[in-house]
Every structure is written in C-alpha cells, then in structure tokens.
C-alpha cells in the first residue's frame, strides 16, 4: 500500500472587494481574492514569480496556483467547493474524450448561438456571497486536495475573515443552509459531506430558496434565460419564478444545445452519481434515481 507524507491543509487569505466599475464577474459560487497569501500552519507565504507552489496530501508533485491580473492588482479566482449555485452565466466549451479507444470530439455547433445562459434564482446566492465577504473585507479559503479545476480556479471552502485570517461565517455551508445553493460534493469532500447534505435536507424540507421550484431532472434549454452583463444586474421577475434543476444538469443541457453531436445522455455521464448513504453508483444520466440530499458525485471513467 502506498504511503504519503501528510501535509497540513493549505489556506489562501485575500481581500474581497468589487468596486462598481469592476470587470470581474463573481457569482453565487465564484469569488476573487486580491493580494492573496498562502497560509501553512499559520505562516504566511507570498507568491514567487506570480504563483504559489502548494503541496497536498496524496499528491506526487506540487500543485501550482498562478496569479491573475496585473502586478499590484493580483488576484486568484475561487470556486466554492461543496456547493453549486444557480448558474448566472454559462456557455459550452468544446471538448474531446477517449471512449473505448476512440477519440470523440464535440466542437461548437455554428448553427446555433453560443451565448451565455442563466438559471432562475441566480441573484440571491450571488448577492449573499458577495455582500458577506465584501463586508468582512477578507476571505479565508481551505483548499480542496485537487487545489484547482480545469479553468484554473482554486477549489476550496470559503469563510468570511479579517486580515489576520480569523474564521468567520462559513459562507460555503451557509449558502446551502439558506437554500441559496445546492450541495455539489465529491468524495474528496470527506468529513464535510454529512454536514452539507444535512443542511440541504433541512432547506429542502422547509422549501427555502432554490427548493421552492426545484425539479429533480434536467429541464429543457427553453427554461434557460439570457445571462446578465454584471453581477449587480437585477434578475427579471419572470426568471425568479421559473423552475430550475441542478446546475450541473443545466450545464449539460446548454452543452447539448451548443456543441455538435452531443447527446444529453452522454453529456450527463461526465460524472457518476453516488448514493452517499449506501455507496451505490449509477451513471450520471440516472442521477434522478438518487434523492438529491443523498447525492454526491465522482468523475466518470470512460472505458
């Protein structure tokens, strides 16, 4: 059995500030840390050559976190781990994947618009996350062991904080507790899974926020809306009253609309769906068989 050196959980600490003229687009599960520092066992480490080098338990090599923006105004985008807020702006990205030894490509379909789409109820999550973190002035992010995603956003659990890195409101969990976002958990979430699923169960039972009009199945593309230009734009009243499905399913519906040759069944199989209480696994296109408050995910292994 392989053994790994156990590293302390790394954290990022940075300012959160969105002036009225910002070009950045935070949303209900993505924010930006300005002038970030890396915290290891309470020791602050500044970036070197505009990047952080991070070791995490189980990795054979360090993870790299590059800074964005200009020197003197550097930032990193943070994707909240454990949650999935209603999509404020999403468009498909072409991709290819090897299936049974054959490479399948899914390019943009030039016969349809490649515009950004949004779901109902995106505004409350965005407003809550931005307001709480901007009011605190700082965010502390406990990094997930994957560290970054394919968009080079940092993955982590987000707390409101101060300049000394003190933990305040656990914003990630509060989004689920308040019914502002859905749980979106992978096995790497480990001991946080029960708390997030329990929070979702209570919010669903009380029909808070997103649960009022939730449908446990993908909805047609026609239920999507044009994306706002800015995170401060008001959400149309008609959109607020619309039905919505899991954001992960919504993204696959948009992919099918905007990518050539992609079926919804195949698109939904990007992840496997797992019933957390039993460990039973089904392909992602059958996620509706698992209660949403007992549902976690794993990357699908195409063979």
Q: Which residue has the tokens 């954001």?
A: 247
Beta bridge partners of 198: none
CA–CA–CA angle 195, 82, 194 (5° rounding): 20
**Count of CB atoms situated within 10 Å of the CB of 64:** 12
DSSP 8-state symbol, 46: -
- Taking the domain 11-299, which CATH number applies? 2.40.50.90
Measured CA to CA, the distance from residue 287 to residue 275 in angstroms comes to 9
Which candidate, 80, 74, 149, 121, places its Cα nearest to that of 228?
121
Q: Count how many residues are written for the chain.
A: 303
For 46, counting Cβ atoms within 10 Å of its Cβ (0-12 exposed, 13-18 middle, 19+ buried), the class is: exposed
Measured CA to CA, the distance from residue 43 to residue 39 in angstroms comes to 5
Which candidate, 247, 86, 297, 80, places its Cα nearest to that of 172?
80
What percent of the chain clears pLDDT 90, i.e. is strictly above it?
86
For 236, counting Cβ atoms within 10 Å of its Cβ (0-12 exposed, 13-18 middle, 19+ buried), the class is: middle
- pLDDT tens for residues 278-288? 999 999 999 99
> What is the band of 45 on the pLDDT scale with cuts at 50, 70, 90?
very high
Which candidate, 215, 227, 294, 259, places its Cα nearest to that of 109?
259
- pLDDT tens for residues 265-279? 999 999 999 999 999
Query: DSSP 3-state assignment of 109?
Result: coil
DSSP 8-state symbol, 140: E
86-124 exposure pattern, b = at least 16 Cβ within 10 A, e = fewer:
bbbbbbbeeeeeeeeeeeeebeebeeeeeebbbbbbbbb
Say if residues 214 and 86 touch (Cβ distance below 8 Å): no
Asked whether the CA dihedral 109, 111, 117, 120 is positive or negative, the reply is negative
The answer to whether residue 5 scores a pLDDT higher than 80 is: no
Average pLDDT rounded to a whole number, residues 225-233: 96
Say if residues 104 and 227 touch (Cβ distance below 8 Å): no
Average pLDDT rounded to a whole number, residues 226-243: 96
Say if residues 125 and 80 touch (Cβ distance below 8 Å): no
Higher pLDDT, 257 or 3: 257
Q: pTM higher than 0.75 for the full model?
A: yes
Amino acid 1: pLDDT: 44
- pLDDT tens for residues 148-204? 988 889 999 999 999 999 999 999 999 999 999 999 999 888 899 999 999 999 999
């Amino acid at each position: 059995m392989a053994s790994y050196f156990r590293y302390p959980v790394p954290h990022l600490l940075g300012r959160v500030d969105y002036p009225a003229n910002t070009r950045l687009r935070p949303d209900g599960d993505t924010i930006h840390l300005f002038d970030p520092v890396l915290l290891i066992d309470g020791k602050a480490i500044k970036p070197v050559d505009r990047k952080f080098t991070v070791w995490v338990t189980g990795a054979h090599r360090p993870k790299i976190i590059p800074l964005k923006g200009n020197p003197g105004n550097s930032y990193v985008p943070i994707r909240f781990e454990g949650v999935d807020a209603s999509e404020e702006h999403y468009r498909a990205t072409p991709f290819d994947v090897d299936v049974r030894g054959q490479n399948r490509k899914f390019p943009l379909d030039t016969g349809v618009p490649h515009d950004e789409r949004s779901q109902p109820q995106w505004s409350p999550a965005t407003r809550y996350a931005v307001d709480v973190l901007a009011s605190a002035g700082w965010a502390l992010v406990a990094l997930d062991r994957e560290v970054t995603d394919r968009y080079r956003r940092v993955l982590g659990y987000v707390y409101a904080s101060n300049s000394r890195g003190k933990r305040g409101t656990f914003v990630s969990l509060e989004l689920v507790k308040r019914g502002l976002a859905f749980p979106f958990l992978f096995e790497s979430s480990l001991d946080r899974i029960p708390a997030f699923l329990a929070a979702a169960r209570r919010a669903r039972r009380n029909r808070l926020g997103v649960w009022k009009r939730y449908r446990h199945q993908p909805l047609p593309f026609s239920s999507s809306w044009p994306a706002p230009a800015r995170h401060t734009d008001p959400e149309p009243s008609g959109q607020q009253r619309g039905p919505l499905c899991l954001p992960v399913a919504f993204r696959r519906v948009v992919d099918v609309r905007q990518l050539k040759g992609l079926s919804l069944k195949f698109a939904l199989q990007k992840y496997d769906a797992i019933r957390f209480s039993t460990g039973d696994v089904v392909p992602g296109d059958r996620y509706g068989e698992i209660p949403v408050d007992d549902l976690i995910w794993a990357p699908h292994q195409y063979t």
